[in-house]
Amino acid sequence: MHVIFFGYNRKELLLILKQKENRMTSSQKRSGNMDQFVKDLERELAEHPGSVIAAHRLALAYWRSDRLQDAVETFRKALAIDESSQEIRVNLGTLFLQMGELEKGIQENKTALKIHPRSAEAMANIGSAYIQLKKWQEASDYLQQALQVKPDMVPCWTNLATVLIELGKIDDAVAAGEKAVSLAPSFGLAHNNLAVAYYHSGEYDKALEHLEKAEQHGYPVHPDFKEKISAASGKTTGD
């Protein structure tokens, strides 16, 4: 099961990363060499230990460099400077969720909601974590709350389609999947999940159509599932 989590990226960090990557050689880009960039941010934080922006930038850079424990510790340093930052809470929660530490991730995102009750990202993260825990109704509740705040969150619609299938609400799952692909026609995972919903609704031709679109847009469709849909629709793979 492919579940999507939601985090924030500071605009200034993205700009700095882009400038750094533009200066890298091709081999450095391929290897993802961010060592000097991280060292620059470490020096910046050492020179400005009370800067929440410097701490947050460094935490995000550690995360991008797959130094996950360093990222956790640095997010916590940032929160020690400004514990009321909903943005940092959501990012730390997102990191925990991606690390598989679901309860910690849920807690950080719930804390973010106490700070900013209309944080769609926090709601979506909690809902996505509940998918991993197979708590389908809780997942549905949080995902739908997130979409009330930000109805254009495509991955949220995609995750919701999966949840509604598990709850047996197939028509609603189809509607959620159709919303996702209408917002992002080239999003392969959305087409895959919509194909699953159509399969459960018995609309096998539509299921096969969206599964093929998922493949066209680079999603790794499971071959057994494609064979099953093809057989149900009366078509053979490759027709």
Examine the fold and report which residue of 83, 114, 137 is the final residue of a domain before the chain moves on. 83
179 and 201 fall within a common domain: yes
Range of lowest pLDDT (27-31, 130-134, 200-204): 27-31
116 and 171 inside one domain? no
- Per-residue pLDDT tens over the stretch 215-234: 999 999 999 999 999 998 88
Tell me if 208 sits within 8 A of 238, measured CB to CB.
Answer: no
Q: Are residues 176 and 218 in the same domain?
A: yes
pTM to 2 decimal places: 0.84
CATH classification at residue 176? 1.25.40.10
| Helical spans, DSSP H, in the chain | 11-23, 26-31, 35-47, 52-64, 68-81, 86-98, 102-115, 120-132, 136-149, 154-166, 170-183, 188-201, 204-216, 223-233
Q: What pLDDT, on a 0 to 100 scale, did the predictor assign at position 30?
A: 44
- Are 64 and 14 within one domain? yes
Domain count, the chain: 3
Residue pLDDT, tens place only, 3-51: 666 665 544 444 545 555 555 444 444 445 678 889 999 999 999 999 9
Question: What residue numbers bound the domain in which 94 lies?
Answer: 90-150
Co-location of 61 and 17 in the same domain? yes
Q: What is the pLDDT of residue 51?
A: 97
| Domain end (from 68, 83, 98) | 83
